[in-house]
Amino acid sequence: MSPKVVFITGCSSGIGRALCEEFHQRGLRVIATARRLDSIADLQAKGIATHALDVQNTDQVSQVVDAVLKQEKSIDVLVNNAGYALIGPSIELSEAELLLQFKTNVFATLVLAQKIAPAMRERGRGLILNIGSISGIATTPFSGAYCASKAALHALSDALRMELSVFGIKVVTVQPGAIRTRFGESAKETVARVLKPASWYRSVEDAIISRAELSQVDATPAKEFAQKLVDSVMVEKPPPIIRIGKKSLILPLLKKLVPTNTLDGIFKKKFGLMQMKF
Ligand code: NAP
C-alpha cells in the first residue's frame, strides 16, 4: 500500500517544518510548502516533496493542489499551519493589515480545505488539522487581530468538523500553547510596521514588543510539539480539539475560572497599560 500523503503549509520554520520532519520520519509521504522554495530546499534533500506556496494567493493554491493530486493521486492529511501574529494597538491597525491577517490565518485555511476535501470525499476518508492557538481563547492587549483570527479559525474548524464528518473526513482544531519557533521574530516585524511615531501607545512600546515575544518565553520545543501532535492524530479517532505546549492548559482554565475584570487587570498590568503616561 502506498504511504499516506500529508500536505503542510508554512514549512520554512517552526511547527510546519517540525511536522514535516516528524511525518516523514514515520514513513508518510510529505508535501512541504512554503512561500520561498529555498527555505525548504534542505527538506527536499531529505526526500520530502516541496512546492512554493503563498497561502494568500488563491490561484497558486489551486495550481499546487492540482499538481500534487495529479502526481500523488491523493492527499490524506491537510495541515493548515501557515500563519503569523499581527501585533499592535487594535485602534491603530489599518484595514489592509487586518485583511492580510485574516486572509492568511483564516480564509486561506478554508480555501485549502475546499480544494482538497473533494479528493478526500471520493475516498471516504481524510484528516484536516487546523493550527489555531491558545490566543484564540485568551485575548491579551495588543494582539486583538491575531486573537480574533484564531478565534475565527477555531469556529470555522469546529463547523467543518461536524459538516465533513458525514463524508468520513476528520477535522481537528489544534490549539498550541507557547512553542519555540520564529513566531516571535515575525510578530516583532509587524510591530515595526504598525506602530507609528504618533501612536497613542508609544510610551509602552517595550510592552508591545514583549507581547510579540510572549510565545517564546519558556516555550516547548517545536520537535516535542510535533511528536505529541502526530502521536495524538495518527489514531482511528483523533480528539476534536488538541492542546499541546506550555500554557496551553492553564490559559483556558484561567479564562474559565477568573472573572473577566480580574483577568483584564492582570493583562493590563503585564502589558504596560496601568503604567501609561499621557
Ligand atoms: P513560524 O516559525 O514563524 O512559522 C510560520 C510559518 O508560516 C512560516 O513558514 C511562514 O513562512 C509561514 N507563513 C506566513 N505567512 C504565509 C503565507 N502567506 N503563505 C505561506 N506561508 C506563510 O511560527 P510557528 O510558531 O511555527 O507558526 C505556525 C503556526 O502555529 C501559526 O499558524 C501560528 O499562529 C501557530 N501558533 C504558534 C504558536 C507558537 O507559540 N509558536 C502558538 C500558537 C499557535 P515565511 O518564512 O515565508 O514567513
Q: Do 7 and 113 contact (CB within 8 A), yes or no?
A: no
> In the chain, which ranges are continuous DSSP H helix?
14-25, 41-45, 58-72, 95-102, 108-123, 144-165, 183-194, 205-213, 222-233, 250-257, 260-270
Rounded CA-CA distance 42/48 in Å is: 9
The conformational region for residue 126 under phi > 0 = left, psi -120 to 50 = alpha, else beta, is left
Helix (H, G, I), strand (E, B) or coil at 172: strand
How far is CA 243 from each of CA 109, 182, 251, 263, rounded to the nearest angstrom?
19, 20, 11, 21
Give the tens place of pLDDT for each residue, 48-82. Answer: 999 999 999 999 999 999 999 999 999 999 999 99
Give the model's pLDDT for residue 277.
73
Q: How high does pLDDT run on average in the chain?
A: 97
Residue 2 CB partners (closer than 8 Å, separation 6+):
29, 73
Please tell me the predicted confidence (pLDDT) of residue 203. 94
Q: Provide the CA 187 distance to its chain's centre, in angstroms.
A: 13
Q: Say what the pLDDT of residue 245 is.
A: 98
Residue 271 pLDDT: 95
Give 35-54 pLDDT, tens digit per residue: 999 999 999 999 999 999 99
Rounded (10°) angle between helices 183-194 and 95-102? 160
Active site annotation includes 201: no
Mutate to test the pocket of ligand 1, among 130, 173, 186, 188 (most ligand atoms within 8 A of CB): 186
The reported pLDDT for the residue numbered 2 is: 78
Write b or e for each residue in 92-105: b if 16 or more Cβ atoms lie within 10 A of its Cβ, otherwise e.
Answer: ebeeebbebbbbbb
Each residue of 166-197: pLDDT tens digit?
999 999 999 999 999 999 999 999 999 999 99
Distance CA 221, CA 163 (A): 33
Is pLDDT larger for residue 277 or for residue 40?
40
How far is 175 from 154, CA to CA, in rounded Å? 9
Q: Closest ligand 1 atom, CA of 222?
A: 26
pLDDT in tens, 213-248: 999 999 999 999 999 999 999 999 999 999 999 999
Q: Atom 12 (ligand 1): residue with closest C-alpha? A: 10
Residue nearest to atom 14 of ligand 1 (CA): 83
Q: Grid coordinates representing 78?
A: 491537510
Atom of ligand 1 nearest to the CA of 104: 18
What pTM value is reported for the model? Answer: 0.98
Please, which residues bridge with residue 241 across strands? 173
pLDDT digits (tens, 9 = 90+) for 134-172: 999 999 999 999 999 999 999 999 999 999 999 999 999
3-state helix, strand, coil in the chain (%, to 5): 55, 15, 30
Which of the listed residues 7, 13, 100 should we mutate to test ligand 1's pocket, taking the one with most ligand atoms within 8 A of CB? 13
**Model pLDDT, residue 98:** 98
Is 84 labeled as catalytic in the residue annotation? no
Residue 55 backbone phi and psi in degrees, to 5: -65, -15
The C-alpha cell at 116 is 482538497
CA 55, CA 219: separation in Å to the nearest integer?
Answer: 26
Q: 199 falls in which pLDDT band (50, 70, 90)? A: very high
